[in-house]
A and B are shown apart, each in its own frame.
Chain A
Amino acid sequence: MHMNRIKMLFEHKTKNILSVYLTAGYPDIESTVEVIERLAENGVDMIEIGIPYSDPLADGPVIQRTSQQALENGMTISVLFEQLRVIRQRVSVPLVIMSYFNPILIYGFKRFCSKCKEIGIDGLIIPDLPFDEYLTNYKDIIKGENLEFISLITPQTSEDRIRKIDTETDAFIYMVSSASTTGNRDSFTSENEEYFKRIKELKLNNPCLIGFGVSNKVTYDQASHYSNGVIVGSRFMDSLKKGMDIDQAIKNLLSVLRG
């Protein structure tokens, strides 16, 4: 069995990693694979495939809207898995699935994980599955399918808890930039930067990627400076519209971020 793709990525690249989030089934039900392929072709390091949910508590207006649209388009876990059936013949970048807990619970947690493994998914982000609940009830299932569980840390997370999460993580840590939902912003405050610095100085075992609010060159530079890279979601989703050239949208995104 080969090494998890997330770990391979961080082995040969430790700075300026760019992970991009997309809502599966947006703007069209059939967009998913094309968006993934174009992101990979344009050199994006990792891709986060979001499963749309009716009640996305950690998301701001943009991802609420794209999720709603994707659901109206008919996106479901089963449809997504069908679309991704041969994705590994097309892209080799690490693929991470982001989903709220409820749709996975209803699909069947173990069945979900087995299917992810079969397709070649590398990791899972479940923003409303608390770390302790993961350890007690779901770690064995996830690890059993060779998937990595990506935990989030925030400015509210204590050092003890961060250390514990670090010990239990074997891929990367998703650092939420600030007390916020997902969305666009112009810049991070000095208080945000203090927190980035504080985390950097903890010298964790795992790499950290900063997400939530990375949406232009300023925020990209601020976040990249203190971490191994960034996760961009709302900015990309906001720019995607029905019928547009996806490749162009991605090139625009990259130039907005990198200047």
Chain B
Amino acid sequence: MSNYSVTSNGYYGEFGGAFVPEILHKCIEDLKNRYLSELTKPDFQEEFHQLLRDYVGRPTPLYFAKRLSEKYGCKIYLKREDLNHTGAHKINNTLGQILLAKRMGKKRIIAETGAGQHGVATATVCALMGLECIVYMGKTDIERQLINVQKMRMLGATVVAATSGNMTLKDATNEAIRDWCCHPEDTYYIIGSVVGPHPYPDMVAKLQSVISEEIKKQLLKQEGRENPDYLIACIGGGSNAAGTIYHYLDNEDVQILLAEAAGKGIDSGESAATIHLGTIGVLHGSKTLVMQDENGQVTEPYSISAGLDYPGIGPLYAYLAYTKRAKTLAITDEQALKAAFELTRTEGIIPALESSHALAVLSQQAFKKEDVVVLTVSGRGDKDMETYIMALSQFDHANTDSL
């Protein structure tokens, strides 16, 4: 991925870098010096791929969604990351990072989580490897994603409530970074998306790139071609999207459509649409687009989806927006809910609220009959049932006709 790969000091164009306090300099340097060589070692690759296959259940299917395709007049394939162990793409990353952490001799694992999917995926691999696990989660998110909190506890993790700010993902990330500042020697921080200081954005993208590696093979088999016309994914920090587009970035014939969370609308003041609303800034160690006020104070984002409720974005996406390589659509809560019910009732798949944002893109874009569209369903909807149940009556009464 020559045109869009990270530079040796961690930049995509002017975005990226490693803006961390001095106490973390050594941790970041150690990681930077180790990750590429470790990830490409044959024994790492072997262990990683064996676990992806036997433990996670990969490859995930590339499912031709017939009824959905008929509805939108194109060929839609769903990349079924929802079928992974723990219910989302997040485990591809946590599995890779825990293997790295072990090789670096780290004993204590910390993570931040929004929806709880990354927290569960981290707690899971810690249980698998017998390592101590501490997950920081905003108090607001703990309340709205309770099942995942209970899963993490059952898996043996300690869930610590972040009580600053809006008490969501940004605040959980702040707390995780502070923890790391206090335990730089024995602790490994498993970041859950392509955000944070270099080398995390690149490392997480590489670990998630198994998604597009599989898409290429599967599409060749099913369609006789490696390249779709469109790739669609949602972006919170951007990890499932990074995995989806990784091996296609340099092929400009493949169009990339990304869905970010507009919340109640990009002009409503209650939104998490960072690419639409953000300006250049530094958040969580990376120079990227940030939702902030005119004084450089980070603003509180809002989305119905805890996994997209973040005021930053991976630096790669700031660059893809800047170079216009990817087109980003802002999808409202309402549009996402509608898309969730549509997929459920046309294909029998209940998607995560995050993934529903990607699904909503289908109704925003005009496709030609012969277009091949690959859309990543990043996770399943179990964790969002409460929200869906609340919306159910509304959709049964008002919207079933239009579905």
Contacts and interface: CB of A to CB of B under 8 A. Distances in A.
Contacts of B27: 156
A180 B296 contact: no
Interface string B291-311: 010111110000000000000
A174 to B, nearest CB: 9
A179 B21 CA distance: 11
A102 B20 contact: no
Contacts of A58: 21, 23, 178, 181
Interface stretch (A2-10, A124-132, A229-237): A124-132
Nearest to A79: B295
Interface in A95-128: 101-107, 127-128
A78 B293 CA distance: 14
Contact of B298 (A55, A153, A157): A55
A71 B165 CA distance: 12
A57 B281 CA distance: 15
B22 A131 contact: yes
Interface centre among B22, B174, B182, B294 (most CB of A within 10 A): B22
Contacts of A154: 22-23
Contacts of B24: 156
Contacts of A54: 165, 297-298
A185 to B, nearest CB: 12
Nearest to B197: A130
Q: Indicate the size class of the contact surface on chain B.
A: 35 or more
A53 B22 contact: no
Contact of A101 (B177, B282, B295): B282
A118 B41 CA distance: 55
Contact of B20 (A53, A77, A130, A179): A130
Nearest to A106: B296
A151 interface: yes
Contact of B295 (A55, A77, A180): A77
Contacts of B290: 102
A181 B19 contact: no
Contact of A128 (B21, B279, B292): B21
A189 B296 CA distance: 37
Contacts of B285: 128
Contacts of B66: none
B296 A105 contact: yes
A156 B164 contact: no
Given A103-B295, A133-B19, A158-B26, A179 B184 contact: yes
B17 A133 contact: yes
Nearest to B300: A54
B247 interface: no
A64 B19 contact: no
B110 interface: no
B296 A127 contact: no
B107 interface: no
A76 B24 CA distance: 28
Contact of B296 (A104, A152, A156, A157): A104
A133 to B, nearest CB: 7
A57 B285 CA distance: 10
B33 to A, nearest CB: 13
B58 interface: no
Contacts of A78: 295
B182 A127 contact: no
Contacts of B281: 102, 105-106
B223 interface: no
Interface string A236-258: 00000000000000000000000
Interface string B192-208: 00000000000000000
Q: Indicate the size class of the contact surface on chain A.
A: 35 or more
B350 to A, nearest CB: 35
Nearest to B294: A106
B181 A130 contact: no
Contacts of A130: 18-20, 22, 25
B170 interface: yes
A103 B296 contact: yes
Contacts of B279: 106
Interface string A177-192: 0011100000000000
Nearest to A126: B19
A55 B27 CA distance: 21
A151 B174 CA distance: 22
Nearest to B171: A55
B182 A181 contact: yes
B164 A71 contact: no
Contacts of B262: none
B25 A157 contact: yes
A133 B185 CA distance: 23
Nearest to A58: B21
Interface in A154-185: 154, 156-158, 161, 176, 179-181
A68 interface: yes
Interface of B: 17-27, 164-165, 170, 174, 177-178, 181-185, 279-285, 290, 292, 294-298
21 contacts: A54-B297, A55-B283, A55-B284, A57-B174, A57-B181, A57-B284, A58-B23, A76-B295, A103-B296, A103-B297, A106-B279, A106-B295, A128-B21, A128-B285, A130-B19, A130-B25, A131-B25, A156-B23, A157-B26, A179-B23, A179-B185
